[in-house]
Amino acid sequence: MTSKAKRVNKALDETVQLRHPAKIHEAMRYSLLAGGKRVRPVLCIASCELVGGDESSAMPVACALEMIHTMSLVHDDLPCMDNDDFRRGKPTNHKVFGEDTAILAGDALLSLAFEHVAAKSTEISPDRVVRAIAELGSAVGSEGLVAGEIMDIDSEGKDVSLNELENIHLHKTAKLLEAAVVCGVIIGGGNMIEVERVRKYARCIGLLFQVVDDILDVTKSSKELGKTAGKDLVSDKATYPKLMGIENARKFACDLLAQATEELAYFEVARAAPLYHLAYYIASRQH
């Protein structure tokens, strides 16, 4: 994971260079190269390799996923959304560049993501590239990330059921992880059965990701997390520990991990190993 993440960082650095106008490119690079874990790109590459594809074929989509993810973080941190001052251990984009530039930096990253896949996936058959682009688009739009964010905003100050919480996270968090593995399999030449297996795997790790996030929010410090800790408690937000208690939340995380890895049993063990380990990494991450 570390070596793949390093190569993703290099590819991102080369893709978003300090061009004219400098201010927007600086703002894009500030958040994009701020040191995220690169979970989505690595998932994409691992899924491409799972079905026999190689890392270089998956790299344009892997970079696009990180651009989309970074855009969503920049917009999510805005005062009109989640209003956060710290992200990835640094002041948020709007704190450094102003709200206007932060919005534009997000917009530019989102547009570049699609341009980059279309322009750089030259070795892949066009129908697979188009399918990957469609998957990315649906993961971001009004039935994807945007749906999750609007449901989240609308749920503020209301009693949220476990089902509603799950629906928010399936859209806000799991959709992009789903797009990461599905695009990886599409680009790697996989079939529909393989696509559906990894899709189910990603839904489980998406929820797992969020349960762990909620647990970390109440058990770690801001310094350890690189973002404001205890924020969910202060804003009285619906979280898994709040709705089911911390011990049940931990048990739920174990169940999701088991379900995720069950989906991988369909694949050759050695090829599926990175995805097994990524699921364990998500379950045991400390920040």
Residues near 99 by Cβ (< 8 Å), separated by ≥ 6?
78, 79
Name which of residues 29 to 58 contact ligand GRG (CB under 6 A): 36-37, 39
Query: Least distance from C-beta 191 to ligand GRG, angstroms?
Result: 28
Asked if 166 interacts with ligand GRG (CB under 6 A), we say no
- Which residues from 94-153 bind ligand GRG, rule CB under 6 A? 110, 140, 145-146, 149
Residue with tokens 């739920």: 252
- In the complex, least distance from residue 176 CB atom to ligand GRG, rounded to whole angstroms: 7
Query: Count of residues binding ligand GRG (CB under 6 A)?
Result: 19
In this chain, which residue has its C-beta nearest to ligand GRG?
36
Site stretch for ligand GRG (CB under 6 A), options 42-50, 65-73, 93-101, 216-224 = 65-73
| x/- track of binding to ligand GRG for residues 228-267 (CB under 6 A) | ----------------------------------------
Alpha helical stretches, state H, the chain: 2-15, 22-32, 39-50, 55-76, 93-97, 99-120, 126-140, 145-155, 162-169, 175-187, 192-219, 222-225, 231-234, 240-244, 246-264, 269-284
Q: Which residues bind ligand GRG (CB under 6 A)?
A: 36-37, 39, 69, 72-73, 75-76, 81, 88, 110, 140, 145-146, 149, 172-173, 209, 213
